[in-house]
Structure 1
Amino acid sequence: MLSKPLIDPSTTQPAAAGNFTYLALGDSYTIGEAVKQAESFPYQLQNLLKAKNLAVANPKIIAVTGWTTDELQGAIKKEALTNTYSFVTLLIGVNNQYRGYPISTYRKEFAELLQTAIAFAGGDKNKVFVVSIPDWGATPFGQNSGKSPQTIANEIDAFNAANQEITLAAGVSYTNITPASRNAATNPSLIAGDGLHPSGKMYSEWADALLPKVAAVLK
């Protein structure tokens, strides 16, 4: 997110053998900026599913730190994926908020990305899982960003209100991790070493929240 260097999504590990496939779409929160790959929420989710005897291949990740909705759209087109996946996660929008992009643009592009995610899930909306945007204002970086944490929180809430409305209207699962992300303001263990991104511990909470939903679809 924000000013961190870009990471080439092609550097993610090749898919390991598994009965199920997983596509993760997003930004720094999906690649797990500032933590080990194994600590990112897609890889923690994969391991939790494996523990339930659901053999999920290593996730295919299309995500780069700093991406907005339009940049994710462009990257998906560039990847030119032709296969479908057993399930798809989508978490995008923090950089739209950070850059001050209008919510009207976000609504349009998020809705398009959601339909793209459904297409990658073989047209099955039950296999798509949207995750809300966490509140970076609760981090040390956010608290020293020059914008009040409450202002950031209000803007994050507005973007999440938009993505939640669109997600639920499409009949897609929505996982709201935002309230818990605000615990970072009083719990430093939830923050990665860069003072901005979630730690593996916070990502484990996201994976735990997604686990029963995804497992129910795969069984």
Structure 2
Amino acid sequence: MIINPDAAKSEYTFLSLGDSYTIGERVSETDRWSVQLAGLLRKDNVDVGNPDIIARTGWTTAELQEAIKASGNQKTYNLVSLLIGVNNQYRGQSQDQYRTEFRELLQTATKFAAGKTNRVFVLSIPDWGVSPFAAGGDKARVSREIDQFNAIAQDECQKAGIVYVDITPLSRSAAGDDSQFASDGLHYSGKQMKQWAEKALPVAKELLKK
């Protein structure tokens, strides 16, 4: 867990939950999408600190939930984000399992938001099938499965009254542009994650008004 020691100096606090896309595999701390989002909010005169982050490359929904419990974090936050599921898809885990575990994570995220679903938002799973890493693989299958997992996430968000932000089309637009990928050719660069932050910005601003 990454703690922002200066968070208490800001009016609003922010927690970002996820996997490699949240921790920003192969990018600098300042390039992480949620850190970029906090910066954009501050530019719009919203006094929010950089996020606390519970995320690690490779985590599935179950592993994220376990890590949250292990962290012992009892804080509550004004804003909570969740981006999880690509490793469930990558490892071939069942969509039914994902639905159950994703629903539980929405409940966990809501607890971190002091029980307020209107302070939680979810980002869709990016499509790693367009990455250089996936060259020669079955890109159509990856894309189809990502869509299926995202449909589950969107459905569960709708049931829970949680805002869902669809960044998957942005990730697909990175195809063929190496500058939008990190050095490993699999994860996304700060340039691509900036677009996620910009897509989430109006949502975050609206949620912090509630």
Cα drift, residue 217 of structure 1 = 2.2
| 1:95 matched residue in structure 2 | 87
How far apart are the structure 2 equivalents of 1:158 and 1:14? Answer: 38
How far apart are the structure 2 equivalents of 1:205 and 1:56? Answer: 19
Q: Which runs of 5 or more residues in structure 1 are unaligned? A: 1-8
RMSD: 1.2
Cα drift, residue 186 of structure 1 = 2.5
Measured against aligned partners, the alpha-carbon deviations of 1:56-113 in whole angstroms (never above 9, x if no partner) come to 1221100000000000000000112212100000000000000001111100000000
**Are 2:127 and 1:127 equivalent residues in the alignment?**
no
| 1:137 matched residue in structure 2 | 129
| 1:167 matched residue in structure 2 | 157
Give the counterpart letter for 1:60 in structure 2.
D
Q: Is the 8 A contact 1:15 1:60 kept in 2?
A: no
Query: 2:174 aligns to what SS in structure 1?
Result: helix
Q: Which runs of 5 or more residues in structure 2 are unaligned? A: none
How far apart are the structure 2 equivalents of 1:52 and 1:191? Answer: 28
| 2:195 matched residue in structure 1 | 205
**Are 2:113 and 1:151 equivalent residues in the alignment?**
no
Give the counterpart letter for 2:74 in structure 1.
T
How far apart are the structure 2 equivalents of 1:189 and 1:168? Answer: 34
Give the counterpart letter for 1:127 in structure 2.
R
Cα drift, residue 118 of structure 1 = 0.8
TM-score w.r.t. length of structure 1: 0.92
Aligned-pair identity in percent equals: 51
What is the number of residues matched between the two proteins? 208
| 2:204 matched residue in structure 1 | 214
TM-score w.r.t. length of structure 2: 0.95
Cα drift, residue 187 of structure 1 = 2.1
Cα drift, residue 13 of structure 1 = 4.9
Q: How does 1:28-177 map to 2 (within 5 A)?
A: 28-144=20-136, 147-177=137-167
How far apart are the structure 2 equivalents of 1:218 and 1:119? Answer: 16
Give the counterpart letter for 1:207 in structure 2.
A
How far apart are the structure 2 equivalents of 1:76 and 1:14? Answer: 19
Q: Is the 8 A contact 1:35 1:192 kept in 2?
A: yes
**Are 2:191 and 1:196 equivalent residues in the alignment?**
no
Cα drift, residue 188 of structure 1 = 2.0
Residues 1:31 and 1:81: Cα distance change in structure 2 (over 3 Å): same
Q: Is the 8 A contact 2:130 2:172 kept in 1?
A: yes
Cα drift, residue 179 of structure 1 = 1.3
Query: 2:57 aligns to what SS in structure 1?
Result: coil
How far apart are the structure 2 equivalents of 1:26 and 1:85? Answer: 16
Measured against aligned partners, the alpha-carbon deviations of 1:44-66 in whole angstroms (never above 9, x if no partner) come to 00100111111112211000000
Give the counterpart letter for 1:38 in structure 2.
T
